[in-house]
């Protein structure tokens, strides 16, 4: 497996990546499949809030929720998420909703990219049993270097701002 060293605040983190083989063509919004040595636990992240979006990143992995208060408590079947803010406060998000990178990026966070994520080398090899996750754009660009022949492109759709995989086109 090819590995790159990714600089982070906490040291180096190796990465392996490939495109989802079930996507008909990379131009059809191919999704990156990314192998990391470890997916941080929720308590390791420090979140910032802008409007209803709560965002954090650690070692290239991004986490985000949409929540605006107790009246918005039906996401994740009402599950409570105990998070820490960048100011060190403990906050309980009661039933937040998951959200997509395009919304998070439009709010001025990130930028981040929606991916399929795993820390299990066997799952990465067989191509399934990933989780839906997000990584920073820098991390996604390194994943594209591993894959080769693809790059990240920015696209706006409505108010969302996406970064997605595109084939590199060689011109003669």
Q: Residue ranges per domain, the chain?
A: 4-40+108-167
Q: Tell me, what's the pLDDT at 13?
A: 60
Instruction: State which residues of the chain have pLDDT below 50.
Output: 1-2, 25-27, 171-172
Does the model's pTM come out above 0.75?
Answer: yes
Nearest-angstrom CA–CA distance, 72 and 70? 5
pLDDT value of position 11: 52
| Percentage of residues of the chain with pLDDT beyond 70 | 83
**How many Cβ atoms sit within 10 Å of the Cβ of residue 154?**
11
Task: Write down the pLDDT at residue 4.
Answer: 54
Tell me what pLDDT residue 27 has.
Answer: 46
Find the DSSP H helices in 20-161: 101-106, 121-126, 137-147
Predicted local confidence at residue 127, as pLDDT: 86
Q: What is the pLDDT of residue 1?
A: 47
Question: Is residue 157 within 8 Å of 102, Cβ to Cβ?
Answer: yes
Contacts of residues 45-51 at CB distance under 8 Å and 24 or more positions apart, as own/partner, are 45/83, 45/84, 46/84, 46/85, 46/86, 47/83, 47/84, 47/85, 47/86, 47/91, 48/85, 48/86, 48/109, 49/85, 50/107, 50/108, 50/109, 51/107
Residues 70, 18: Cα–Cα separation, whole Å: 40
């Amino acid at each position: 497996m090819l590995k790159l060293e990714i600089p982070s605040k906490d040291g180096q983190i190796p990465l392996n990546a490939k495109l989802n083989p079930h996507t008909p063509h990379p131009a059809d919004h191919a999704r990156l499949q990314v192998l990391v040595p470890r997916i941080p636990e929720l308590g390791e992240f420090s979140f910032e809030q802008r409007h209803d979006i709560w965002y954090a990143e650690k070692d290239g992995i991004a986490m985000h929720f949409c929540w605006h208060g107790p009246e918005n408590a039906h996401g994740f079947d009402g599950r409570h998420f105990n998070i820490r803010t960048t100011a060190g406060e403990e906050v309980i998000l009661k039933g937040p909703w998951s959200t997509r990178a395009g919304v998070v990026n439009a709010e001025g966070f990130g930028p981040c990219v929606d991916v399929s994520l795993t820390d299990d080398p066997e799952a990465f090899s067989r191509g399934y049993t990933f989780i839906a996750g997000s990584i920073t754009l820098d991390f996604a660009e390194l994943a594209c270097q591993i894959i080769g022949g693809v790059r990240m492109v920015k696209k706006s759709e409505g108010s969302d701002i996406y970064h997605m995989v595109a084939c590199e086109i060689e011109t003669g």
